[in-house]
Amino acid sequence: MKRALITGITGQDGPYLAQLLLHKGYKVFGTYRRVSTPNFWRLQDLGIVKQVTLIPADLSDMSSLLEAVTISDPQEIYNLAAQSFVGSSFDQPLFTTDIDASGSTRFLEIIRHLKKDIRFYQASTSELYGASSEIPQHEQTPMIPNSPYAAAKLHSFHMCRIYRHSYGIQASNGILFNHESPLRGLEFVTRKITNSVAKIKLGLQKNLPLGNLSPQRDWGYAPEYVKAMWLMMQQPKADDYIIATGETHAVSEFAQEAFAAVGLNWKDYVLSDKRLHRPLDVHQLCGSPQKAETVLGWKPKVTFNELVKIMVAADLKRWKMFLDGKAFPWDAPNHSHEMDIIARNVTKDAYREAGYKKKGLKERFF
């Protein structure tokens, strides 16, 4: 029986990948962080929490990673764990660097010393292309990161390449463009929109404050993207692949489609909130999945419109269950994100009252 170790199994992609590997007959191990409130709702939502073996580990803690690899003794490691929110990387650049850059190097070192034939998947990202003006982006497009998150991920991207060429380690980079699902975190714009659309439709929310509406993203469906991760790991030689749809849409289009899915006009509800703008954003991402199609035989099927509808329908179902008084194993009701604007205002005022004068530091949100 093949054994796989998935870091970040409590996030969006981890449970979908675990589900796929379980179907393929793998013994699946996943790392989780000790947090004050357990965070297994996604694994529960897919009904697989009892089928995976959970190991406590943190990417900042080398000994816990060594322990996780020793316990799981995997043929394949999927390194999905990350501080994955671009906005937060501006607020926590050093933490982001430690996890997203050094974290993967810790694994590469473990593999180098312990067992060179472990295959390693690194969750690279379209954010690497950042300020690049080439459309569509392909594997040879220059990488110009536009955030601390992307810079840290670029480090990991290169470390995989370097360990591949220096030590023959089978490390592959999946350069995944944005992929979404009902399991997406509420802080990301797509799920923020679909969750709010559902609440607005049911009379539980009045409006939706958003930041920059013009950035364009190449949005795909997460369950399809995890299949590409697995396909990369089955190749005889490690390599780097873009996984994308080849289509790009503005944030405003996503909002328009999501409100339209419940018969509402987005312009009646979306508010512009400058505090939600980033210090530096990525204007347009659109990937060419050509190489993945040719080499891996991978092709996306779910369209942009279908993706929006899947997400809106899932959030509507959840909030209807909530109104019916049913228990729910998901994140919707009290996620801190819902309090973001309020909390941030309070913080801002509190800092002012405390005589905190230095502008630009605590007043920059997002």
CA angle 27, 69, 86 (to 5 degrees): 95
194 catalytically annotated: no
| CB-based contact 26:1 (threshold 8 Å) | yes
- Residue 79 one-letter amino acid: N
Judge residue 46's burial from the number of C-beta atoms within 10 Å of its C-beta, 0-12 exposed, 13-18 middle, 19 or more buried.
middle
78, 149, 163, 225: the active-site residue: 149
- Using CB under 6 A as the binding rule, whether residue 68 contacts ligand NAP is answered as no
**Using CB under 6 A, which of 172, 178, 196, 256 touches ligand NAP?**
178
127 catalytic per annotation: yes
Name the one residue in this structure whose structure tokens are 């679909």. 194
Q: Is 334 helix (H, G, I), strand (E, B) or coil?
A: coil
CA distances from 155 to 117, 140, 148, 151, 347 (A): 22, 17, 11, 6, 33
Residue 319 is a binding residue for ligand G4F (CB under 6 A): no
Query: Among ligand NAP, ligand G4F, none, what does residue 328 contact (CB within 5–8 Å per kind)?
Result: none
For ligand G4F, give the closer residue by CB, 72 or 172: 172
* Contact set for ligand NAP, span 93-112 (CB under 6 A): 99
**Residue 194 touches which of ligand NAP, ligand G4F, none (Cβ within 5-8 Å per kind):** none
The reply on whether position 242 binds ligand G4F by CB under 6 A is no
Least Cβ distance, residue 263 to ligand NAP (angstroms) = 28
Which of 31, 32, 76, 127 is labelled catalytic? 127
Tokens of 228: 């590409």
Query: Backbone phi, then psi, for 43, in 5-degree steps?
Result: -65, -35
Does position 200 interact with ligand NAP (CB under 6 A)? The reply is: no
Buried b (16+ CB within 10 A) or exposed e, 136-170: bbeeebebebbbbbbbbbbbbbebbbebbeeeebb
In angstroms, give the least distance from the CB of 353 to ligand NAP.
32
Question: Rule CB under 6 A: is residue 344 a binding residue for ligand NAP?
Answer: no
Task: Give yes or no for a contact between 153 and 89, defined as CB atoms under 8 angstroms apart.
Answer: no
Q: Is 109 a catalytic residue?
A: no
Which residue number has the CB closest to ligand NAP? 11
Choose one: 53-61, 110-118, 268-276, 349-357; the region binding ligand NAP (CB under 6 A): 53-61
Q: Residue 184 contacts by C-beta under 8 Å, 6 or more apart in sequence?
A: 12, 190, 191, 222, 311
- Please select the residue that binds ligand G4F; options are 40, 41, 95, 188, rule is CB under 6 A: 188
d(CA 272, CA 213): 8
Chain residues in the site for ligand NAP (CB under 6 A): 7-8, 10-14, 31, 33, 35, 39, 58-60, 80-84, 99, 123, 125, 176, 178-179, 185
Residues designated catalytic: 125, 127, 149
Chain contacts with ligand G4F (rule: CB under 6 A): 84, 86-87, 125-127, 177-178, 187-190, 192, 210-212, 215, 217, 251, 276, 278, 281, 285
